[in-house]
Structure formats: structure tokens, C-alpha cells
Structure 1
Amino acid sequence: MYYRSDVVGSLLRPAYLIEARQQYEAGQLSAAEFKRLEDRAVDEAIQLQEEVGLEVVTDGEQRRYAFFGHLVEAIEGFDKFGGWAIPFRDEEGRENLVRRPIVVEKLRWKRNMCAEEFTYLRARTNRVGKVTLVSTMQAAVYWDKNKSTSAYPTIDSYLADIVDITRREIEELIRLGCTYIQIDAPQYAALLDPKIREGYRIRGIDPDRIVDQTIELDNAVLDGFDKQGIVFGLHICRGNNQSMFYASGGYDPIAEKVFRKTKFHRFLLEYDDERSGTFEPLRFVPEDRIVVLGLVTTKKMRLESQEELIQRIKEAAKYVPLERLALSPQCGFASTWEGNRITPEVQRQKLELVARTARLVWG
């Protein structure tokens, strides 16, 4: 679990894959041909991560339309774009409204969510292969008192099924040999934003209660598996869509609960700019956990300097000892298929910077 150079999950989709997805969804490309192009994109993603020297690799989430796409496409019962529309924004004032899924029918298992991703990845790398799933906290926003109650009268009944589905997936991933599973939970940080908190209330969800509830449910997802030598990571960010974000604020309001009460072994935390606050909340991280510092931004073209990263790692080490720290980008490079507003070459340079800095700091 002491991997020093990590990657959050998604990588930019190559132009040919973006075009292929659009053709496939329009009925202009066969499933077999689309799958062949997905495989090619995954091969390139693995090669990139290995060439820059990362200890942990993913399939770049090349097969997903969004970081949560595995859930929506493998489990029946969701309206893909019928849910809560969240405004993403950037420092220049640009805004993009993104529609989320919504649960409208009883969830039904259609296929494994990530088995194909992992078995393909496993066969093509000797590095540690990581798979990403969504947390119950993320899944909670796909329930709405006005649209979901015919299928699930309460959010509790819906999340109980999410726990069962996620545990079934983890069990299969472990059987296939997966040793590192990341749970994506940007909604923990979303609750730092007053507007999003109000959005929860409008949809019949208590924003204060939901944190305690989903911590308990995420722990239920991990229960038993966390003692089998499997590394579980929790990734928290403030939204990531085409270089935009939806929330700002330090980890202070959620740190004590999330860091101390969850069973995760690694916390992959966004820390690329002032929107993430200070390192002080890291004082709540238990002594047997690792903090992966997301110091390299995936949202902007600017390439951080190695000296800058080393200085920030030293600052974080005031709260968590250096031997319990690691380094990664702050989020994926393409949480949705459109990708962030950076070039493939800058993506490569940033990944190489993560790997090189980690080797220099930790050996």
C-alpha cells in the first residue's frame, strides 16, 4: 500500500475513440469495431503510464463515458441524463450544466461493472493495476424524492441495493486478482458548497445526515474485504468536467468524520490550488493510513515545477509523516469522455513529473 506514485483513474480519450463513441451511439459503428478501438486506447493508456514510470496504472477509464459510467451502463434502472443538473464553472466565469443519472426503476444486475476493465489491464501490465468504483456518497445523488420513489420509497432502500451491488463487484474483482480498488467520492467535498447542500435538501436528502450515513455504508461495502490484503483508496475532489469544478473549500468540515471513521487505507486528495484549503485537516488522518497528495493539476496546461511539489510535500509532512505520504495528480484527466482542456503531451509531462518527483522524494 506504500505506492509512492499514483494516478487517480481517467486519461484523455484519443480523438479516434471520441469519434468512434459518437459513431457507435449513432448506430454508425458496430460493437465489434468499437470494442477494437477501445482496446487500442487502453493499450496506449497502459503504455503511457508505464513509460513515465508510475507505480500504479489504470486502464485510463477509456471504456467509460464518465467516471461513474460503469454503474449506469452495467446496472439497469437509471435514466442516464434525467437527474440533477450540476453547474460546473472555472475561474474565467465559463459555466457548463451537466445532467446526472437518476434512479427510476428497481436496480437490476445486467453485467459486471469492471471485470472486463481489470482482466484486460491485468493481462497487459506487470505494474499494480487499479480499478475505480463510485462510493455510496456519489450514488446518493442519483436518488430524488420526486423521481425515484416509485422504485425506492426512501434513499435508504436505494443505497442498500447500491451496497449489495458494489460488494458483489468487489468480490468478483478480488477473485480475478485485483489488489487495489479506488472508491470515488467527490460528493463529500461537494457538501462544502452551500448551493449544493441546498440542492440535497430540495431533493429530500439531509446534507448533514447523508455524510454519516454514507460513511457507514461505504464501510459496509468494504467490510471483510479490507482484511484480505486488498488496498482500498478513497478519492475526494471538488468536481472535474472539461477543466471545470463545482465546489470550493477546505476539508475542515468533513475531515474528522471521513478520515477517522472510514476504513480506507489510502486517501487520494485534491490539493492542486487554494480551492482545496490547507494541509491542516490532515491531522485527523489515523497513523495507519496513507495520504496521496494530488498536487499536480489535471485542469490546466501549466506544468508545475519539481521544486514546487517537493516544497508542498514538506508542508504536508508537518501533519502526516513523509513515510505515509505519496503523490498523484489531483483528479483524472478526463472524468467524462470529453476530457479536460489540456493536450496529450502536457498530460504525459504531468504524469512523468509525478513519477520522477516521487522517486526523488521517496527513493
Structure 2
Amino acid sequence: MTKIHRAEVVGSLLRTDDLKEARRAVAANELSALDFKHLEDKAVDDAVELQEKIGVDNLTDGELRRSFFCDHVMTALDGVSEIDAPPFDLFHVTTGERAQMSMPATVTGKISGKRMLSVEEFTYLRGRSTAPLKATLSSPITLNYLWHPEYSTEAYSDPYDLFRDAAAVLRNEALELARLGCEYIQIDAPELIHVLADENVWQRWLRYNLQPERIVPEAIDIINSIADPIPGVTFGLHVCRANASYLAVARGGYGRFVSELVPRATNFSNLLLEYDDERSGDFAPLADIPDDKKIVLGLVSTKRAGLENGDEVRARIHEAARYTGLDRLALSTQCGFASMESGNDLTMAQQADKLRLVVDTAREVWS
């Protein structure tokens, strides 16, 4: 079994106002690329210092060089054009309100890798810390948001062919990360739980001819191919239900995910599962996860500023352990703090408090 890190960082961290302004300025040709990179580097240095000071068991660069967690499939691929496709509906699962969203880009041609986004992230991070490091990649299935029947079918009449091409690009990136010394790669695949657990999302896939019934087995097999074993590299699979309180787009437990997808996710040693509110259901499905997988419980919310009660977090860990045993578990926040550059509605101090709670609780539970 893989070495267990009990206190995990999922991925993104809040951007400072200075970094947000710098990204705007360089896009407007008001700041040179080199000056922007110096500011970006300084932001990563500060993120490393924060994580090392708090004592998390593995570090990321906070995804501070990205505008979206899924920049790999938004900006780093040829075949994607800046065409705003017609908006689609999302439904807030708590309020029932309908929200419309359109993506800033659309697949219009055969895709291929334009650049490797995570290589700069990892090599710079490796030079700044000797702690265990984690690189994050987004799932190829995230491209479902960029595939549109009106614009994409000439290049990809079958969206799953698009997903396979994206997986090949991401596999090459994983191989390059491994060559550079990365020992932990996390694939973020929120769409898996969105489709399987929430009827509204299933229906959106049907309307767009995305064929949600092929999530099992095709989509998970495509994701699993990225994680074909690489000596010395651990692969983690992270799923969540939209990382913003104002856009809570999916509700539903892990039953189908565990029974239908996890058995096919053979190349993933770690499962990072959101469990910060009632949308995730109970812990009972964890009993059916194979014994060779570590389960990272996302019990501390990055969507809400209020700090969780440490006693309650510990109690929930022990509740989950009834189904899995304590030794297979670890703790994290439910997601990153800034899946989009704007970030969630927390202060830097509140972010630090949340990470410190993860670390302190993990030390107490697994001392």
C-alpha cells in the first residue's frame, strides 16, 4: 500500500489581489511577461511557506499559475477556440434556482497538446521545497463543457473520441511529470459524481448528446488510462460537487460511484472524496471500496468561511472508520480554495485556519 499522508492539500489556494491585478495587467499588455512571472513566482513562494509552516503532509503550488483548475483543457490545447457556446442550465441543489452558464471556449477542431501547463508548476515547486509534492491534472472528461453539438461535431461526432484524445495528451504530461521527479499526481474529475449522483446533470448530458450512460465503463476507463502504472508514482482521483456555495450543482451519495466506477479505477491508489455537507450522503458506501485504496475524507469546507469544530471533524473520521478501518483514512479540505481565479469567499487568514485544522486533527487522530 502507498505511503499515507494523513493531512492532504487538495490543490488550489487563494490568489492575492496583487496576483489577480498582475494577470489582468499582463493580458492588457500593461506588464511584461517577465515581470509577471516574477510576481507569479513570489506568490508560489508564499504558498510554499504557508503550507510548510502549517505542516501539511504534501504541498502543491496552489495552482496559482492557472485561471481555472482545468486550464489544461481550457488553454493548453490546440483545437479549442474562443467561441462562447450557447449557455446551458445548472440548478442550485439547495435553493432550486436555475443558473445559466456558458464557457469561454469551445472545441472546434482535433485537439493536441499546445503546451504542458503543469511542468512549469512542478519544476519551480521542486526547487522551492524538499517536502512531498503533488501535481494536479484535470480529467479529460472536463471537456464535456467545451463540446457542443453545433460547433464540435465536425471534429468529433462522438464526444468520447474527444475525451480519448485529451487523455492521450494528459498521459504524456503525467509521463513528463514523472520524469521530472513527481511522485504524486492527482486527477480532478468532478464530472463523474455530477453525472452519476444528480439527475439534473444526467439530463443535461442527454440534451447535449453526451451519452451519460457511457460514463460506465468508457469515461472511467479513459481516465484510468492516464494513470497506467509509472514506477514510483502514486495516482489520486478527486471528485466533488462544484466548489462554490453559490453554484452547488450536484447532490447525491457515493453509491454508484463506488459500485460502478471504483472497481474500474484500478490505477488509482488514493480516492479524495468530498464529504463537507449533506450533499455527499453518508459513509456507508466506503465499506465497498477495495482494501488497497486509501480514502481521503474532504471534511473541512472551502466553500464556507466558518471554521469547523475540531471535535466534530474527529468524530466524523471515526464514524467513517467504522466502514473502512482507521488506517486507510486521511483528511483534507473538501476541495481547493480557488477552483477559479476569483476564489471562494474566504480570507487568507481563514484559509490558513482551515489548513491548520486539517493538520492538527490529523496529528491527533493518527498520532
Pair in the same fold by TM > 0.5: yes
Q: Which runs of 5+ in 2 are unaligned?
A: none
Contact 1:244–1:299 (CA under 8 A) maintained in structure 2: no
Change in CA separation of 1:103 and 1:19 when aligned onto 2, cut-off 3 Å = same
Contact 1:259–1:284 (CA under 8 A) maintained in structure 2: no
Matched with 1:252 is: 255
Q: Decide which moves more: 48-57 or 206-215.
A: 206-215
Answering whether residue 133 of structure 2 is matched by residue 129 of structure 1, we say yes
- 1:146-165 matches, within 5 Å, as 146-165=150-169
Q: 1:113, CA displacement in angstroms?
A: 2.2
What's the CA shift string for 1:298-353, capped at 9, x where partnerless?
01111012111110000000111100000000001000000001111010000001
Change in CA separation of 1:112 and 1:132 when aligned onto 2, cut-off 3 Å = same
Distance in 1 (alpha carbons) for counterparts of 2:116 and 2:233? 19
Answering whether residue 180 of structure 2 is matched by residue 187 of structure 1, we say no
- 1:48-127 matches, within 5 Å, as 48-80=50-82, 82-83=84-85, 85=88, 87=90, 89=92, 91=94, 97-100=100-103, 101-127=105-131
Report the TM-score, using the length of structure 2 for normalisation: 0.93
Q: Which runs of 5+ in 1 are unaligned?
A: none
Contact 2:73–2:142 (CA under 8 A) maintained in structure 1: no
Distance in 2 (alpha carbons) for counterparts of 1:123 and 1:351? 23
Q: 1:97, CA displacement in angstroms?
A: 4.3
Q: 1:109, CA displacement in angstroms?
A: 2.3
Q: Decide which moves more: 29-38 or 41-50.
A: 29-38
Matching residue's letter, 2:306? R
Distance in 2 (alpha carbons) for counterparts of 1:81 and 1:56? 38
**Tell me, what secondary structure is at the counterpart of 1:150?**
coil
Matched with 2:20 is: 18
Answering whether residue 322 of structure 2 is matched by residue 295 of structure 1, we say no
Q: 1:92, CA displacement in angstroms?
A: 6.5
Q: 1:212, CA displacement in angstroms?
A: 1.7
Matched with 2:221 is: 216
**Tell me, what secondary structure is at the counterpart of 1:291?**
strand
**Tell me, what secondary structure is at the counterpart of 2:185?**
strand
The number of equivalent residue pairs is 361
Change in CA separation of 1:85 and 1:58 when aligned onto 2, cut-off 3 Å = farther
Matched with 2:239 is: 236
Matching residue's letter, 1:53? G
Matched with 1:34 is: 36
**Tell me, what secondary structure is at the counterpart of 1:333?**
coil
Distance in 2 (alpha carbons) for counterparts of 1:115 and 1:331? 22
Change in CA separation of 1:333 and 1:112 when aligned onto 2, cut-off 3 Å = same
What's the CA shift string for 1:6-48, capped at 9, x where partnerless?
0110000001011111222222222112111111111111111
Distance in 2 (alpha carbons) for counterparts of 1:142 and 1:211? 21
Distance in 1 (alpha carbons) for counterparts of 2:155 and 2:245? 33
Q: Decide which moves more: 337-346 or 215-224.
A: 215-224
Q: Decide which moves more: 234-243 or 107-116.
A: 234-243
Distance in 1 (alpha carbons) for counterparts of 2:345 and 2:88? 21
Q: 1:241, CA displacement in angstroms?
A: 3.8
Q: 1:112, CA displacement in angstroms?
A: 1.4
Distance in 1 (alpha carbons) for counterparts of 2:79 and 2:321? 45
